[in-house]
Structures are given as C-alpha cells and as structure tokens.
Amino acid sequence: MIDLDHNATTPLDARVRAAMIELLGDPSLDGNPSSVHGRGRRARAVVEDARRSVAAAVGAEPLGVTFTSGGTEADALAILGTCRALRQAGRPCALASSKLEHPAVRGAGELLAREGIPQVFVPFDEHGRIEAAAVVETLRAHPEVGLVSLATANNELGNVYDIAGIVAAVRGLPGRELLVHSDAVQAFGKYPVDFAAADLDLMSVSSHKIHGPKGVGALIHRPHLRIDPLWIGGSQERGRRVGTEAVPAIHGFGVAAGLVAAELDQRRAHVAELHAQLLAGLAEVAPGHLRYGDPDRHLGNTALVGFPGCPGELLLMNLDLEGVAVSTGSACNSGKFAASKVLLTLLGEGPGASEALRFSLGKDNSAAEIARVLALLPGIVARVREERGCA
C-alpha cells in the first residue's frame, strides 16, 4: 500500500514496535506504576522515562506532561479542565477558538456551551490563515474570554500558525490574564514544536501521529497550572488524569518522541522533497486542480487539493483500488464519506468541499511512490469525470 494519509495516522515505527514488544515480554515491568513494591517502581520508572522523553521533544518540563488517551482527550482536558477551573475561581472563563479547529476542540467547546460557558470565534481569511491582530481584536471585544485555543497546524489544510506571535500578542493585552492552549497534534513530528519558546500554557500532542502507538497522547502544560480532571477516582498524573497508566503505550510514545527529537530535520527535508515532487507533478497531470491552504506557512507534508467536477469520495475509492491511501478531509471523515469540514467552513455549501483529496506524506514515503500516484491520477480523474458526465 502507498500511504499518503499520514495526517490520519502514522505507521508504528519498527523501533517503537521492538521497544514495546521488549517491554511486553518482560514480566518484571508489568506492574502498576502506583504500587510501591519493586515491580510497581520499575513500571513507574518506565512511565517517568517516557515523560522525560516527551518533555524534551516538545520543549517542556517533565512535570508539565500529563499522559492521556490521545489528542482528543488532551484537547478536552485542556479546554474543559481549565475553563471549569477558571469559572470556579470566579475568573473570565469563556473560550476563544476558531471554526477551523479539529472536532476534538470544537466538541470540547460545545460541551462547555452546554454548561453555560460561551465560546467566541476568531476570524480567518480565505486560505484559513489566522493573524495575531485578528485574535487580539476578538479578545478586546470579549472580556468574558479566559482561554484561547488555536491549533499549531491545521489537520486538513496543513497551515502552520504563528502561535508564538499569537501568544505574545495575547500577553500584551492590558488587564487580561488569559491562558493559551494550542492543539499541536498535527504539528508535532512534522514541524518544530517548542512549548516553552512559544510561551504557551497548554498544548496537546498525540503518539499515533508520530509513529507511536495509538491510544496515548499528552497534555503539555505549565507544571503548576490548575486543570480540573475530567473524572475523579485516583491520584495518577498528579490528579489531572486519573486511572492506571497505559504503561506499554506510554513507553512506545516516549520512544517515538525520542526519535522525533533526533530525526525531525532529516524527516522534514525528505518529506519536503516529496511534497515538491507531488505539487510539481499535479501541475502537470491535473491541470485545473485547486490547492487549498496557506502557500507560505505550512507543514510541508500536506496538500489539500480540489479536483473540480470530481467527487473526492470517487477519487479516493479509485485510488484505494490501486493500493493508494488518501482521505477526503480529516481522519474523522475517513471512515465515512463526508465533505471536508474545513473546506465547508472555508468555501461554504457547494460542491467544492466534496471535490477534494488530502494527500499527507510521511517519512517512509519514497519518490517512486509519489511518481506512481502521479501516474495513476490522470486516468482516475478522467474516468471519474466521465462517469459523472463532466468530461
């Protein structure tokens, strides 16, 4: 299979798999990290090693890494956990976010709204760009806001946002003490991410987007920030995320994060070459295609491409029959055929949002794979257009 759907998930790195298998094969590491006996302490050491590895890879302190079940839970914990805590402290607690955010962030905002905590949205331009000045203007008009949540990179467009610039502008607002969260789930592993340098309060990351196992992620935060847990019943993760830790998955995440720290530059250079090959090839083999997103600040692995007259789902199915995996939008759309949510937001109702494919490249793709996809596309596009009577 040619995997051009890395924004949905990334294959488990063979080195991560080996490390996890080694751990799973060692009964002495099979303890509960909260147990005080030796087996428990050894499991605890595994978790703390992983915490240090994730912290180092994202420029955070180990005390500011709370393991979760993934990016969705990290987003929910960041947004629900801090807005609820702000409300309890009698501080402004509304959420400022954008309509381009991942459903995990949008969903947390909806849950807040059900609790009577309002949400306001910052504007974006036709390429999905969000400028610091627009964020500041929104915040000036909304003194009720206590938390700003904006992604570091958009999962469908591949846009990268100037989070450090946005945070600096937000911090410059007189008389306001705002918290800033960024969903860095798509950025981490594909783009340099530095929590401390960006001066963020909270940041979400996920293991399966960096060639680690699924079902684990982390909320990165200032070490002593008050975050209400989503549920109670234990004291793990300093009470922020209670429940026995998923030690093997956390271990795999730590190994994957260490590999990102060591290999990011090399991975980016490789993917950038393939991305350039894909874009140059598309210009040749798919005249009239549309390219969405910010052409200047982007992840370097993602191309959200419109094929006017061609339903994305038919293109996807035809590519799938040839052994090529792509998607029509976010991973949440991958299991069912639905128009790209981000394009619906950007373009409004109309065929555009359902006539797009997202290609997202990864470290293990090759030039030969890109060439193969480019060779397949003209025939598939022509066939789909013919079937739809739009040739």
Q: Which of 79, 74, 71, 330 is nearest to 214 (CA)?
A: 71
The site for ligand PLP, by CB under 6 A, has a size of: 15
Among residues 72 and 318, whose Cβ is nearest to ligand PLP? Answer: 72
| Least distance between ligand PLP and beta carbon 107 (Å) | 10
**Is there binding between residue 71 and ligand PLP (CB under 6 A)?**
yes
Among residues 151 and 314, whose Cβ is nearest to ligand PLP? Answer: 151
DSSP for 4-50 reads -BTTT--PPPHHHHHHHHHHHT-GGG-S-TT--SHHHHHHHHHHHHH
Out of 146, 217, 300, 352, the only residue in the binding site for ligand PLP (CB under 6 A) is 217
Of the listed 83, 93, 332, 390, which one is catalytic? 332
Query: Is residue 67 within 8 Å of 250, Cβ to Cβ?
Result: yes
DSSP state of 159: B
**Is there binding between residue 183 and ligand PLP (CB under 6 A)?**
yes
Out of 87, 102, 241, 341, the only residue in the binding site for ligand PLP (CB under 6 A) is 102
d(CA 5, CA 278): 14
DSSP for 296-343 reads SSB-SSEEEEE-TTS-HHHHHHHHHHTTEE-BSSSGGGTSS----HHH
Q: Interacting stretch for ligand PLP, rule CB under 6 A, among 40-48, 57-65, 183-191, 352-360?
A: 183-191
Name the H helices within 193-301. 195-198, 247-285
d(CA 80, CA 90): 15
Among residues 200 and 377, whose Cβ is nearest to ligand PLP? Answer: 200
Which residues on neighbouring strands pair with residue 305, listed in sequence order?
291, 357
Among residues 98 and 155, whose Cβ is nearest to ligand PLP? Answer: 155
Query: Is residue 2 within 8 Å of 369, Cβ to Cβ?
Result: yes
> Is 332 a known active-site residue?
yes
Q: List Cβ neighbours of 22 (8 Å cut-off, separation of 6 or more).
A: none
Query: Is residue 167 within 8 Å of 89, Cβ to Cβ?
Result: no
Q: Which of residues 150-169 bind ligand PLP (CB under 6 A)?
A: 151, 155
Tokens of 379: 């025939």
Among residues 219 and 384, whose Cβ is nearest to ligand PLP? Answer: 219
| Least distance between ligand PLP and beta carbon 156 (Å) | 8
**Is there binding between residue 362 and ligand PLP (CB under 6 A)?**
no
Q: Interacting stretch for ligand PLP, rule CB under 6 A, among 15-23, 40-48, 71-79, 267-275?
A: 71-79
Out of 47, 112, 185, 346, the only residue in the binding site for ligand PLP (CB under 6 A) is 185
Binding map of ligand PLP across residues 288-327, x = CB under 6 A, - = no contact? ----------------------------------------
Which residues belong to the active site? 332
Residues that bind ligand PLP in the complex, under the rule CB under 6 A: 70-72, 75, 102, 104, 151, 155, 183, 185-186, 206, 208, 217, 331
